[in-house]
Structure 1
Amino acid sequence: MAATFMSRISMFHAFILSALFFSDCGFLRGVASFGINYGQIGNNLPQPEKVLDLLSSLKITKTKIYDTNPQILTAFANSGIELIVTVENDKLSDLTDPQQALQWVSSRIKPYFPATKITGIAVGNEIFTGDDMTLMSYLVPAMISIHGALVQLGLESYIQVSTPNSLAVLAESYPPSAGSFQGELTGVMSQFLRFLSNTKSPFWINAYPYFAYKDSPTQISLDYVLFNPNSGMVDPYTKLHYDNMLYAQVDAVICAIARMGFEGLEVKVTETGWPSKGDVDEVGATVENAAIYNRNLLRRQLENEGTPLRPNMRLEVYLFALFNEDLKPGPTSERNYGLYQPDGTMAYNVGLSALSTTSSTATISLTSSATKAANKGYLYQSLVYWMFVYLLAFQVFMTTRPF
């Protein structure tokens, strides 16, 4: 009998330790709604295997690439990282043909799936705001063909098809409730939204508060665009309060979609970020602002927040970008959006906690100092609670023991 009693006590010991262990380990999970863009327009970027090591050390579980690079697709096999791949703009005309789309999916997607966790296909990039009207006419037919190919191969329930859009698709974005699409896009946008609705796919938007601030630095509050404490703004029609521009931009897109009769589509941010360097006329492109924007964005992501219009639906965000890319054309800012230099060192510190910097690739945790403090408090409360349970159970056993 005594042996049985001691066995039961040992089981309670194990139960308490397990409960505390899993409570603590829960804090080490990656942020489910956060991803990062992995661009490759550079001549000095690390090999995909090294990039995978970096993403894993950051506990990042989602990334997006701008092609279907077989080296990356192979390297990411069995990593568990969700991957959005991209159909380059110049491929769209070919992929309007269902047979060519089937061959593309059969050769570019199927050989790597499911070992490589491909979850999305971005058909083109910012097509609706380009000057090529012919290319725009290819977009929805190419999406329909690619989705049809996924259906034939039994992959449609695993891989979504959409296209990233520039915020310039909006004619109005302020206040958010006035959000509406450019008038000239009405016809093709209606086709696109119908496709998303029929396939239950998200609307992808590339939203950069930096651009709005750069264009009107005297009229737009820097704190408002950086997620810093500020008075924000109230939408006069919905009475919703906004304390940052990114959420206001997303809600403007949601309202524009609803205005077209497709309320309910999920909106995800496929790109957002802030450059750490710019030309003389690129106001606000500094290391300090980039660090603040990305740090504050990560903290919001840790809380799995939704926007004021959809507070209970966490907003999925992909940060742009993982690396500075030295071959990107355009102004200086275009080559300086990365969190990291190509050699694996941080371009700047976004306030994340370094666990190890002994190797060329720093291993960091996505837990902010504020969250860590909250977690310590929660862990302490858990410890007190389980000790109480333990002592109560121990007293019961001692009272009812058969010897």
Structure 2
Amino acid sequence: MRLYAPDQEALQALSGSNIELILGVSNEDLQGISSSTSIANDWVQNNVLAYSSVIFKYISVGNEISPINGNSQYVNYVLPAIQNIQSAIASAGLQIIVTTSVDTGLLGSSYPPSQGSFRDDVSSYINPIISFLAQNGAPLLVNVYPYFSYRDNTGSIDLSYALFTSSSVVVQDPNSNLGCQNLFDAIVDAFYYALEKAGGSNIGIVVSETGWPTLGGTDTTVENALTYNSNLIQHVKNGTPKKSGSLEVYVFAMFDENVKSGEETEKHWGLFTPDKQAKYPLSFS
């Protein structure tokens, strides 16, 4: 599971559950943690060490921070905050991977996948983070949303390509001889190529968000959400054309966020309604 910030009740509920957790450092906490090792130590003490029976798999320091994302005020804090949390984790004698979560808006080119590269105006931000992750053997968490690519390009992207239901290869990459049968693979592989070009060829990717909304936008139906997530679960057992082997993926989200602001679709990504009713039957087996 993934929590975007520490929540006492959620961490208590996860204690002893044997559920592995991505725990987020909220964007608002980055400045303090980046500026002080004692603040980082206190964060680890209060939110990690205090829950010894929770299995912390990753600490995600910030979510979707970007020089071009409307949250650029946090950009300079991400890497030093990662370093301070990493130091605090090590000092506590813990083996928890420290990384950050980004979105695909950092990509400048992504088609075909072998052309994947980071935008020039984000390289000074992401490249030092990539170097840190490479040195520490940590993956990059990436939020991957074929839905948005499809919604914004319905004239050129077929729904079946977005929902994993294409019967054959749709995008044949002339530079790599690899073919993509679905949009998810194309996006993830573009990120792999971008990492290679930035000196991160040994960095793995964990898909820290993906899913399909059920209301409020183009082809946002319960049936499409079920199709996307069911096919996703089966598909990622085998990785992508560029990287075979299972790919670790987190489905967004557990619950609809009925009081969230923004576009109507933002409220309807959940597998469950806010009153805990399943919206459709989904098997993770």
**TM-score, length-scaled by structure 1:** 0.68
How far the C-alpha of 1:67 sits from its partner, in A, is 1.0
SS of equivalent to 1:348: coil
How far the C-alpha of 1:198 sits from its partner, in A, is 1.6
Conserved 8 A contact 1:84-1:122:
yes
Is 1:332 the equivalent of 2:264?
A: yes
Aligned to 1:82: 20
Of residues 169, 181, 184 in structure 1, which corresponds to 2:118?
181
Aligned to 1:258: 196
In 2, the alpha carbon distance for the partners of 1:120 and 1:220 equals 34
Q: Deviations over 1:12-31 (max 9, x none)?
A: xxxxxxxxxxxxxxxxxxxx
Aligned to 2:70: 131
In 2, the alpha carbon distance for the partners of 1:71 and 1:347 equals 24
Aligned to 2:182: 244
What letter is aligned with 2:233?
Answer: L
SS of equivalent to 1:124: strand
In 2, the alpha carbon distance for the partners of 1:199 and 1:98 equals 19
Of residues 303, 307, 319 in structure 1, which corresponds to 2:240?
307
Aligned to 1:288: 223
In 1, the alpha carbon distance for the partners of 2:272 and 2:71 equals 34
Of residues 148, 163, 169 in structure 2, which corresponds to 1:211?
148
In 2, the alpha carbon distance for the partners of 1:342 and 1:300 equals 28
Q: How does 1:51-62 map to 2 (within 5 A)?
A: none
What letter is aligned with 1:322?
Answer: M
Conserved 8 A contact 1:121-1:159:
yes
Length, aligned pairs only: 282
Is 1:105 the equivalent of 2:44?
A: yes
SS of equivalent to 2:79: helix
SS of equivalent to 1:228: coil
Aligned to 1:32: none
How far the C-alpha of 1:132 sits from its partner, in A, is 3.6
In 1, the alpha carbon distance for the partners of 2:148 and 2:154 equals 10
Conserved 8 A contact 2:258-2:274:
no
Aligned to 2:55: 117
Q: How does 1:120-199 map to 2 (within 5 A)?
A: 120-128=58-66, 129-155=68-94, 158-199=95-136
How far the C-alpha of 1:185 sits from its partner, in A, is 1.3
Conserved 8 A contact 1:224-1:230:
no
Conserved 8 A contact 1:124-1:139:
yes
Aligned to 1:52: none
In 2, the alpha carbon distance for the partners of 1:291 and 1:331 equals 21
Aligned to 2:233: 298
In 2, the alpha carbon distance for the partners of 1:309 and 1:251 equals 6
Q: Deviations over 1:82-124 (max 9, x none)?
A: 01111111110000111211111111111112x1111111111
Conserved 8 A contact 1:271-1:317:
yes
Is 1:348 the equivalent of 2:277?
A: no
Conserved 8 A contact 2:146-2:162:
yes
In 1, the alpha carbon distance for the partners of 2:252 and 2:200 equals 28
Of residues 58, 63, 68 in structure 1, which corresponds to 2:6?
68
How far the C-alpha of 1:134 sits from its partner, in A, is 3.1
Conserved 8 A contact 1:324-1:336:
yes
Higher radius of gyration, 1 or 2: 1
Conserved 8 A contact 1:276-1:285:
yes
How far the C-alpha of 1:271 sits from its partner, in A, is 0.2
In 1, the alpha carbon distance for the partners of 2:18 and 2:71 equals 37
Please list every run of 5 or more consecutive structure 1 residues that lacks an aligned counterpart in the other structure: 1-62, 353-365, 368-403
Aligned to 2:159: 222
How far the C-alpha of 1:284 sits from its partner, in A, is 1.7
How far the C-alpha of 1:345 sits from its partner, in A, is 2.0
Of residues 266, 272, 277 in structure 1, which corresponds to 2:210?
272
SS of equivalent to 1:263: coil
SS of equivalent to 2:206: strand
Aligned to 2:171: 233
Change (3 A) 1:338 1:132: closer
How far the C-alpha of 1:78 sits from its partner, in A, is 1.1
In 2, the alpha carbon distance for the partners of 1:134 and 1:221 equals 37
What letter is aligned with 1:290?
Answer: A
Q: Deviations over 1:168-192 (max 9, x none)?
A: 0100111110000010111221110
SS of equivalent to 2:49: coil
Conserved 8 A contact 1:164-1:205:
yes
Please list every run of 5 or more consecutive structure 2 residues that lacks an aligned counterpart in the other structure: none
How far the C-alpha of 1:296 sits from its partner, in A, is 1.0
What letter is aligned with 2:238?
Answer: E
What letter is aligned with 1:234?
Answer: Q
SS of equivalent to 1:330: coil
